[in-house]
Amino acid sequence: MKGWFDRAIGAPGTVSFDRFQAAVDDARTLEPWARALSDAELRPAARAAVLHGDQASGRTAGAGLLAVLRTAAERTLGQRPFDQQMLACCALISGHAIELDTGEGKTLVGAMAAAAYALAGRRVHVLTVNDYLARRDAEWMRPLYAALGMSSGCVGQDTPHGERRQLYRADIVHAPVSEIGYDVLRDRFVTTAGARVAPAQDVAIVDEADAVMIDEAMSPLVLAGTAPAATGNVALADQLVQTLRAGEHYTVDDDHATVSLTDAGIDALEWRLGGVNLYDAAQAETLTRINLALHAHVLIVRDVDYLVQDGEVILISAARGRVAEHQRWPDGLHAAIEQKEHLALSSPGMVLDNLTVQDLLRGYATVVGMSGTVLPVAEELSEFYGLSSGRVPRRLPNRRVDLPQRVFLDDESRTQALVAEVQERHRTGQPILVGTQSVAESERVAARLTGIGLEVDVLNARNDAAEASVISAAGEFGSITISTQMSGRGTDIRLGGADERDHDRVARAGGLAVLQVGRYPSQRLDAQLRGRSGRQGDPGVAVTFTSLDDELVLTHAPAYLMTKATRQDGAADTHALGAVVDAAQRIAEGARRDRHRDTWDFSRAIARQRHTVLAERDEVMRGEHVREQLGSRIPTQLKALTAATSVQTVDDAAREVILWCLDDAWSDHLAQLGEIRDGIHLQALAGLSPRDEFHRITLRRFEGFFDTVYDRAAGILRTITAAQLTAGGAALGMRRPSATWTYMVRENPFGGSLERGARTAGRWFRSRVLGIE
Ligand code: ADP
Ligand code: MG
């Protein structure tokens, strides 16, 4: 009822694309004209259509361009874009987010839109969720771009740094969103403008838009560099926390996001440490280590959050259920996990800067997006990106049957029912895709199925290309595939195998059956998994097996509904239980939305200051402020150095010193803010608004930031000799990080001990709450 009403009057953030229909219709009539164009005439015709509209032909604006795009696609890729794809392309060109079901051909839609923007002289990034998809799409669509006279390229994890600058000059660049983010971050730390790789942030076309722009929006891309070794006894903290008991010595919050020591826990630890006061300044380091160890043991789960491979901790991205390469947890936590697993501790680092995906995307002049599930997040896309969303209809009706969810009292009865269902469907040869919540769960399910002699393929956190080849075979007769939420996303599951040779037999067997184990944290993610079945009018079936033991239900189900549902002699009322699960999912979704807003709000405050710092940094790099700032602080020293060397030598060295001081100060400032943010929830206890308080402290800490930087730079230069000056930075005791890497940080504004690394949480607590510095 609500769905119909919302659609009729337009839900917040949504638009109708009906108005593009005329252009699509006219494009059809112009097709003979476009087809008559020679290869060489395609680009000029497309350019003319972009520059002059279609006044000459008397057609609807855009129709001529659409006709040329369609012809170019047909000629180069052998696929004639359907009307629905043309409509979707129109919507992207007009700056919208589009919802178009899985398998309807969004890759081609995005490429046509990219071409259209590029024809208008814009620089385009087509952003995907992983390397594999970026490369696949770039190669697949290159002939189309080339036919329209456009250069294109792909930047991935393996692209050498030295090639990136050149690649970013292309009209159209395909890349995973994180790779662009890291290049933007690294570019902030160059010391000469020429060292930048400079990705142009003009037009971004985001594939799997809901995953990137909403689910991953607040995951910060963090750039870190080598730092002096951290002190502190990681092993001792690890041993200590293993003596603590849940509930008594520490508590975990409802969201499973933070764990805190209780007074009894503090007492027990203090006693074990021989009667120290853990809140004593001298113990701050120990307390931090203990908190980190506790976090590592209680909240971070092996095979769910990370894998151990070749003696290393390899992270699994929570939102995607796949490995996150070149990523670590912030140092203290990473070391705590290594200790927990009895691995050698890797060398520590310091955070140089960070950037959320949302901030990155907002840096583009134009952002548009596409996905099979966009409308459920239309309101957020509008709020955070000023983007309005609409749905493009499917070409063929959906023939997938979605069965009512099945609810079980516990995990074991659910698994038995699931196994029985797999067995029964498998007997007929129907291909089956089992969607699970985590890597660990997919392995458990796989073990049960192989235990009864079935052959299964497990998709989890391996490399993207291997996943793609497995998932593309998931529609073969008799195949059973087990996946996590994002694994294999973006790859087509065709009935009868990748070449569809066996399509009709599989269709007769009922098409792909999607069996979902437990509900995801939002209806949208459930829909995304179901959407793997029933592509392009194929038959299919989807059913969810939920258990009251599921994490989602345990964490979010309202207790009063739970008791109501299980009232009669412990027997379950399936309908009522279903309502409990639905409610738990709605609550989880609401919690995620609130967290997104909170985190965004915190990151805004920091972003404004970063903006100021980067602007100043740019000016320093161009040589401004150097003489002026230092001249007023150390005039005689500057004159002496210049006389002994040259103006150029002194200017270069001074610039380097200032940049080094600036970067170091910013890194330090970020660490302090992280610490404050971690502790800020305590303000709520004192009746203050955490947000207002955070903004207030952030501002105060930033006062005099630049003066401190220039004072420090002057201090370094004041004491050096002409010989040291010519010897360069290392002689001045400034070491730039020799290597950088990136961190995985969970969005967690009020959360525990994540960002502070070797710095102390106690420091904030002491200075703000106890009033001692
Ligand atoms: P989506 O991203 O929407 O899930 P893809 O872009 O992966 O879909 O395309 C799904 C499949 O449809 C691909 O195999 C592609 O080759 C095919 N396809 C897309 N557009 C057309 C078309 N116009 N004609 C024929 N096949 C198409
Ligand atoms: Mg796709």
- Across 235-244, average pLDDT: 91
For residue 178, count other CB atoms closer than 10 A to its CB. 26
pLDDT digits (tens, 9 = 90+) for 90-105: 999 999 999 999 999 9
Write the secondary structure of 169-222 as one string of H (helix), E (strand) and C (coil). CCCEEEEEHHHHHHHHHHHCCCCCHHHCCCCCCCEEEEECHHHHHHHCCCCEEE
Can you tell me which residue has the tokens 């660490």?
Answer: 671
Residue nearest to atom 25 of ligand 1 (CA): 79
Residue nearest to atom 20 of ligand 1 (CA): 105
Domain boundary (497, 521, 547) is at 547
Q: Is residue 260 part of a domain?
A: yes
Q: Does residue 102 have its Cβ closer than 6 Å to ligand 1?
A: yes
Q: Is residue 429 part of a domain?
A: yes
Alpha carbon distance 441, 62 (integer Å):
49
Q: Token digits for 67?
A: 């006709």
Ligand closest to the CA atom of residue 108: 1
DSSP H helical segments within 622-689, as ranges?
626-633, 635-644, 647-679, 681-685
Ligand closest to the CA atom of residue 538: 1
Q: Which of 71, 75, 79 to mutate to test the pocket of ligand 1 (most atoms within 8 A of CB)?
A: 79
Q: Given a cut of 60, is residue 6 above it in pLDDT?
A: no
Q: For residues 21 and 125, state if they share a domain.
A: yes
Q: What is the pLDDT of residue 684?
A: 52
Q: Does residue 81 have its Cβ closer than 6 Å to ligand 1?
A: yes
Domain that holds residue 205: 2-224+358-391
Q: For residues 409 and 384, state if they share a domain.
A: no
Q: Does residue 492 have its Cβ closer than 6 Å to ligand 1?
A: yes
Percent of residues, the chain, with pLDDT higher than 70: 84
Strand partners, 323: 316
Alpha carbon distance 657, 646 (integer Å):
17
Q: Is residue 298 part of a domain?
A: yes
Locate the ligand 1 atom nearest the alpha carbon of residue 81 and give its number.
Answer: 23
Residue nearest to atom 16 of ligand 1 (CA): 105
> Which residue type, as a one-letter code, is found at position 121?
G
For residue 558, count other CB atoms closer than 10 A to its CB. 12
Q: Token digits for 537?
A: 């009018």
Q: For residues 334 and 382, state if they share a domain.
A: no
Q: Does residue 475 have its Cβ closer than 6 Å to ligand 1?
A: no
Expressed in angstroms and rounded, the spacing between residue 350 Cα and the centre of ligand 2 is 37
pTM of the model: 0.82
Q: Given a cut of 70, is residue 491 above it in pLDDT?
A: yes
Q: Does residue 215 have its Cβ closer than 6 Å to ligand 1?
A: no
Q: For residues 197 and 275, state if they share a domain.
A: no
Can you tell me which residue has the tokens 């956190």?
Answer: 461
Q: What is the pLDDT of residue 112?
A: 98
pLDDT digits (tens, 9 = 90+) for 726-746: 776 555 556 555 455 555 444
Expressed in angstroms and rounded, the spacing between residue 127 Cα and the centre of ligand 2 is 11
Q: Does residue 265 have its Cβ closer than 6 Å to ligand 1?
A: no
Q: For residues 72 and 146, state if they share a domain.
A: yes
Residue nearest to atom 19 of ligand 1 (CA): 105
Alpha carbon distance 443, 709 (integer Å):
53
Expressed in angstroms and rounded, the spacing between residue 707 Cα and the centre of ligand 1 is 57
Q: Given a cut of 90, is residue 611 above it in pLDDT?
A: yes
Q: Does residue 652 have its Cβ closer than 6 Å to ligand 1?
A: no
User: Which range among 300-314, 470-484, 504-518, 602-616 shows the weakest confidence by mean pLDDT?
Assistant: 300-314
Q: Is residue 170 part of a domain?
A: yes
Expressed in angstroms and rounded, the spacing between residue 555 Cα and the centre of ligand 2 is 32
- Across 295-310, average pLDDT: 87
Q: Which of 107, 205, 495 to mutate to test the pocket of ligand 1 (most atoms within 8 A of CB)?
A: 107
Q: Is residue 580 part of a domain?
A: no
Q: Does residue 106 have its Cβ closer than 6 Å to ligand 1?
A: yes
Q: Does residue 108 have its Cβ closer than 6 Å to ligand 1?
A: yes
pLDDT digits (tens, 9 = 90+) for 125-163: 999 988 899 999 999 999 999 999 999 999 998 888 889
Domain count across the chain: 3
Q: For residues 252 and 322, state if they share a domain.
A: yes
Contact predicate 535/235, CB 8 Å: no
Domain boundary (513, 547, 581) is at 547
Q: For residues 430 and 504, state if they share a domain.
A: yes
Q: Is residue 682 part of a domain?
A: no
Expressed in angstroms and rounded, the spacing between residue 22 Cα and the centre of ligand 2 is 26
Q: Is residue 74 part of a domain?
A: yes
Q: Token digits for 563?
A: 């008791």
Expressed in angstroms and rounded, the spacing between residue 652 Cα and the centre of ligand 2 is 49
Alpha carbon distance 674, 603 (integer Å):
10
Residue nearest to atom 23 of ligand 1 (CA): 81
Q: Does residue 698 have its Cβ closer than 6 Å to ligand 1?
A: no
Q: CA 113, 118, 121, 126: dihedral to nearest 10 degrees?
A: 90
Confidence label for 763 from pLDDT (cuts 50, 70 and 90): very low
Q: For residues 169 and 273, state if they share a domain.
A: no
Ligand closest to the CA atom of residue 133: 2
Q: Given a cut of 80, is residue 65 above it in pLDDT?
A: yes
Expressed in angstroms and rounded, the spacing between residue 611 Cα and the centre of ligand 2 is 34
Alpha carbon distance 387, 410 (integer Å):
42
Confidence label for 81 from pLDDT (cuts 50, 70 and 90): very high
Expressed in angstroms and rounded, the spacing between residue 103 Cα and the centre of ligand 2 is 7
Expressed in angstroms and rounded, the spacing between residue 364 Cα and the centre of ligand 2 is 22
Q: Does residue 208 have its Cβ closer than 6 Å to ligand 1?
A: no
* DSSP reduced 3-state for 234: helix
Expressed in angstroms and rounded, the spacing between residue 105 Cα and the centre of ligand 1 is 3
Q: For residues 94 and 211, state if they share a domain.
A: yes
User: Which range among 461-475, 561-575, 711-725 shows the weakest confidence by mean pLDDT?
Assistant: 561-575
DSSP H helical segments within 190-330, as ranges?
209-210, 234-241, 263-272, 284-298
What are the backbone dihedrals phi and psi of residue 309, each rounded to the nearest 5 degrees, phi first? -135, 130
Ligand closest to the CA atom of residue 493: 1
CATH of the domain at 209: 3.40.50.300
Can you tell me which residue has the tokens 């189309």?
Answer: 144
Expressed in angstroms and rounded, the spacing between residue 133 Cα and the centre of ligand 2 is 8
- Across 359-387, average pLDDT: 96
Locate the ligand 1 atom nearest the alpha carbon of residue 80 and give its number.
Answer: 23
Q: For residues 272 and 163, state if they share a domain.
A: no
Q: Given a cut of 60, is residue 755 above it in pLDDT?
A: no
Expressed in angstroms and rounded, the spacing between residue 644 Cα and the centre of ligand 2 is 63
**In a 10 Å sphere around its CB, with 0-12 CB exposed, 13-18 middle and 19+ buried, how is residue 403 labelled?**
exposed
Expressed in angstroms and rounded, the spacing between residue 125 Cα and the centre of ligand 2 is 16
pLDDT averaged over the chain? 85
Q: Is residue 771 part of a domain?
A: no
CATH of the domain at 303: 3.90.1440.10
Q: Which of 70, 77, 100, 108 to mutate to test the pocket of ligand 1 (most atoms within 8 A of CB)?
A: 108
Q: Comparing C-alpha atoms, which of 454, 457, 517 is closest to residue 493? A: 457
Q: Token digits for 206?
A: 């985001």
pLDDT digits (tens, 9 = 90+) for 99-122: 999 999 999 999 999 999 999 999
Q: What is the pLDDT of residue 571?
A: 56
Q: For residues 53 and 143, state if they share a domain.
A: yes
Directed axis angle between helix 635-644 and helix 626-633, to 10°? 120
Q: For residues 382 and 414, state if they share a domain.
A: no
User: What residues does the ion ligand 2 have nearby, CB within 5 Å?
Assistant: 106, 490
Contact predicate 337/329, CB 8 Å: yes
pLDDT digits (tens, 9 = 90+) for 683-734: 554 556 677 777 888 888 899 999 999 999 998 888 888 888 777 655 555 6
Expressed in angstroms and rounded, the spacing between residue 167 Cα and the centre of ligand 2 is 23
> Which residue type, as a one-letter code, is found at position 280?
D
User: Which range among 65-79, 382-396, 612-626 shows the weakest confidence by mean pLDDT?
Assistant: 612-626
Considering only the C-alpha atoms of the chain, give the largest distance between any 2 of them, rounded to a whole number of Å: 94
Q: Does residue 103 have its Cβ closer than 6 Å to ligand 1?
A: yes
**DSSP label at 246?**
B
Locate the ligand 1 atom nearest the alpha carbon of residue 494 and give its number.
Answer: 14
- Across 8-13, average pLDDT: 72
- Across 458-482, average pLDDT: 85
